[in-house]
Structure 1
Amino acid sequence: MIKKISTKNIGPSPSMELEFGERLNLITGDNGLGKSFLLDIAWWAMTRSWPAELNSKLSIGKIALPTIKKEKAIIKCSFSGKTKDIATNFEYSAQLESWRVLRGRPGMPGLVFYAMVDGSFAVWDPARNYWKEKGQQQEKERPSAYIFSPKDVWDGLERDDGTWLCNGLIRDWAGWQKEQGRPFGILSSVLEVLSPLFDEKLEPGKLTRISLDDVRDMPTIKMPYGQDVPVVHCSSGMKRIIALAYFLVWCWEEHLKAKELLGEEPELNAIFLVDEVESHLHPKWQRTILRSIMDVMEKLNSEAKTQLIAVTHSPLIMASAETLFDPEKDGWFDLDMVKGEVSLLKRDFVRQGDISDWLTSEAFDLKSSYSLEAERVMEEASHVLSDETVDKEKVVELYDRLRAVLSDTDPFWIRWNFVAERKGWYR
């Protein structure tokens, strides 16, 4: 499990330091303040690879570069390995245009999964990626990793030499379903765990064809309205969950096969990095996705220990964490602008109750949960309520504007009507 990362002279802040909880970690903050950057750094710390360097089709996951070229850029990290805790420092080399890595094999934090915001996925498997790179005369040793663009997840991952590393969701799912073996059973179970509600579970339908020109058997999902819909025609939210389910099952199956060849036991530690965990998901799905991801490894291995690091912009995600969060094991980290600089703070997780209260909390820093137009009119109206010299014409104008932005049952009317009657505005 990853324990700590710190950076100097890279990213949006001169320096950052983050000490993870051993189980659930949530990262919030405005756009452009470094949430995805922190996930990329965590991935690098555990795998010594940048996703875009291993798969040129990615537009994200690029190498981190120094902010000030003439100053040192440093990444420090520590994580718990199989036998001991490991701390490592990396320094950027402008001459090599890469990060210097000390000789020697890296530690093994466990299986590392990275779900990127654009639908790309990455996995680092200690059973398959933990070797010295062949034929390279350089000062560093690092493991490789499997990096999937969104298209690779569905259609397969092919190496430059023509070797197929993965058949892709469509072919693998169809093959598993025809065989009716362990992989298909696990896939069905994982889909059920990742479903939003018990009565709306994701369930594989019958294989079908979608085109005269496409000879592949196409997996389908049983929809609640009675149709089997091809997975390529599902909604964006369903596609993301379907892709995640397949990716996890494929990774686990390949991990088991590799461990069997090596004569070793399966890995028990799994680290999930998830960018914008709520992406494309309906609110009812946002309320369950955190618990689902934390539970899914149990379907693969009941003894597995899971660490989740999730970036979110959603108050529903934060509200859903209220029944999960354990201050002894978990952490909430918030990125804010403070005096013109990006600041990373570990905040106390306090239950807000109502989801709208999360919008006005330190996580999202909004003044209210209303529309911007309603917020402005209500602020003006609040000043008028305490103004003893306001004229009736102004009161009528504000009343009409409030009627245009508030519902008839909005709590603000209670305060407005009380003051209006006391001051005789309705006479």
Structure 2
Amino acid sequence: MLRSLHLEGVGPADRLDLELGERLNVLTGDNGLGKSFVLEVAWWALTGTWTDRPVLPQPGKEESARISGEAEPGTSSGQFESKYERVAQQWRDRFDRDMSVGLVSTPAGIDVPSWVQDTAPVLYIRTNGAYSLWDPHRQNLPTNSPKFYPLVRFPLNPIPYLFEENQIWNGLRRDEKPFCNGLVQDWVTWQLEAAGGDENHPFHLLCRVLDQLSHPEEKMTPGKPVRLYLDDVRKFPTIELPYGTIPIVHASAGMKRILELSYLIAWSWSEHVQASRLISWKPSDRIVVLIEEPETHLHPRWQRHIVPALLGALSGLAPSMRAQVLLTTHSPLVLASMEPHFKPARDKLFVFELDGADVTVRELPWAKRGDAIGWLTSPVFGLEQGRSIEAERAIEAAEALMRGETNALPEGLRTEEEIHRELVRLLPDQDRFWPRWIVRRERAGA
């Protein structure tokens, strides 16, 4: 779990400093200012790997660029700092450390650093349908042979599981070995196995997570698997909805995102527990989730449900589970949905802004805004109004006229009648601006 992240000479800002909350961290702001970039660097800080190519220093700052920060001991072991190595075009190994310190002999007869056993799984959910999982409990670690510790250093860099959207559904293989069977096969297999009544079975975890992430008025519950195609002999899961039963492959884009997220959480945690049992390690009591725009594809009713539901689903994975979430969002409804759940002692809100040609990041004190319009017109999003650009322009002209600032009126809105015609064209009858304007017109005898 990350406590802080500091970037210098890398990314859109010359310097960026984030002191992170232990539970929820919300990153918002305009497009192109580095929110997703921060999630990518956070993934590297936690895992020592990149989901694609490494990020690059700013031109001319290759020698001074650095990524540093602090992680909770047991997640990725304390403070870290990495510089860019130009010849290798790589950042210095994130996990290059003294492997002879704190070695623990496990029941399986393997000597490993004690912090490795406590490492938390990390999930990364992207808007492009890609998913990533890093879980050292599922990696092959060095055996108890001196050859693995010839001097003092051994870089631990477990390979992450990187899924494209199709692989989440149909499985992921590596060196001809199945690392993940995929949503379709696992769901059906789990469902048949769970008929025996084992409450700890992954299928029951999947059902609980799906129940939490589904909207309360449109619950998705598993139905009976069905055969669908002539050229595909698999049976496909179905979901029961208020209006009927549908195969999951025919679900809407928003529902598929919820299905994928539910499966990824259930699969990754079940596999973590299974791997821990196989190597005689204790399962982690922590998990880190990085997620881009959880509102993607979701109707506003689902947008104001998803983040509280995600926090609940993660905390329910184990009795003492501690989850840290870093998310980006452009949705005022997502922020409004957090008002009953945001805990300033454990959660943080960051706003990425453009100040001239400089990108800055501010931590904003949490304040309730009341509704989506309140969030749209808050410093988080910075809009003057929650209306169309044309309606905002007409109202600003009307307000300037009421203040007597007639010299600043734009073309086409320079007289009271021009402004009134535009307001009538653009504003609904119940708009809250009408009483002010009508009173002004009546006083002027119009």
After TM superposition, the score normalised by the length of structure 2 is: 0.87
The one-letter code sitting in structure 1 at the alignment partner of 2:210 is L
Tell me what 1:92 maps to.
84
Give the superposition deviation at 1:339.
2.8
Q: Residue 79 of structure 1 contacts residue 109 of structure 1 at CA under 8 Å; is this kept in 2?
A: no
Judge which range, 353-362 or 108-117, deviates more: 108-117
Read off the aligned partner of 1:145 and give its amino acid letter.
P
Find out whether 1:67 has 2:58 as its counterpart. Answer: yes
Q: Is the 8 A contact 1:131 1:142 kept in 2?
A: no
Question: Is 1:359 paired with 2:379?
Answer: no
1:292 CA displacement: 1.0
1:191-247 CA distances to partner (integer Å, 9 max, x unpaired)?
0011121x4211111111221111111111112112x21111111111111001111
Q: 2:159: which partner in 1?
A: 144
SS of residue matched to 1:127: helix
What percent of counterpart residues are identical? Answer: 39
Deviations 1:123-177 (A, max 9, x none): 1113114746999x99844222111111110111111x22211111111111111
For the structure 1 residues 388 and 150, does the alpha-carbon distance in structure 2 shift closer, same or farther, using more than 3 Å as the test?
closer
User: Which residue does 2:111 correspond to in 1?
Assistant: none
Give the count of matched residue pairs.
412
Equivalent positions of 1:128-207 (< 5 A) are 128-129=138-139, 131=141, 140-159=155-174, 161-180=175-194, 181=198, 182-197=201-216, 199-207=217-225
- 1:15-54 counterparts in 2 under 5 A? 15-52=15-52
Deviation, 1:265, is: 1.8
| Distance in 2, Cα, partners of 1:232 & 1:299 | 27
Alpha-carbon distance between aligned partners in 1 of 2:180 and 2:17, rounded to the nearest angstrom: 36
Distance change in 2, residues 1:35/1:131 (3 Å): farther
- In the TM superposition, what are the counterparts of 1:28-427 in structure 2 within 5 Å? 28-52=28-52, 62-69=53-60, 70-82=62-74, 86-101=78-93, 102-104=96-98, 109-129=119-139, 131=141, 140-159=155-174, 161-180=175-194, 181=198, 182-197=201-216, 199-226=217-244, 228-387=245-404, 394-425=415-446
Report the alpha carbon displacement of residue 18 of structure 1 after superposing the two structures with TM: 0.5
Q: Which moved more, 1:347-356 or 1:174-183?
A: 174-183
State whether residues 122 and 133 of structure 2, in contact with CA within 8 Å, keep that contact through their aligned partners in structure 1.
Answer: yes
94-103 or 186-195, which moves further after superposition? 94-103
Amino acid aligned to 2:222: P
Partner deviation per Cα, 1:268-320 (whole Å, 9 max, x = no partner): 01111111111111111111111111111233212211111111000001111
| Aligned-partner Cα distance in 2 for 1:126–1:332 | 30
State the shift of 1:7 in Å: 0.8
Deviations along 1:76-97, one digit per CA (max 9) or x if unpaired, are: 0211123996101111111112
Distance 2:304 2:328 in 1: 15
Q: State the alpha-carbon separation in 1 of the partners of residues 292 and 140 from structure 2.
A: 25
Q: Which runs of 5+ in 1 are unaligned?
A: 53-61
User: Could you tell me how far apart the structure 2 residues matched to 1:234 and 1:32 are?
Assistant: 31
CA contact (8 A) 2:123 2:133 kept: yes
Looking at structure 1, the residues matched to 73 and 397 of structure 2 have their Cα atoms a distance apart, in angstroms, of 58
Amino acid at match of 2:183: L
RMSD: 2.4
Listed one character per residue, the Cα deviations across residues 366-407 of structure 1 (whole Å, up to 9, x for unaligned) are: 1110011111111111112233989x9932222111111100
Q: Do 1:13 and 1:341's aligned partners in 2 also have CA atoms closer than 8 Å?
A: yes
Q: Once the 2 structures are TM-superposed, how far is the Cα of residue 332 of structure 1 from its aligned partner?
A: 0.5
Q: Partner residue of 1:55? A: none
Q: Tell me, yes or no, if the aligned pair for 1:2 and 1:109 is still in contact at 8 Å.
A: no
Against the structure 1 CA distance between its residues 167 and 395, is the aligned structure 2 distance closer, same or farther, given a 3 Å change threshold? same
SS at match of 2:415: helix
How far apart in 2 are the matches of 1:360 and 1:388? 24
Q: Is 1:287–1:320's contact at 8 Å kept on the other side of the alignment?
A: yes
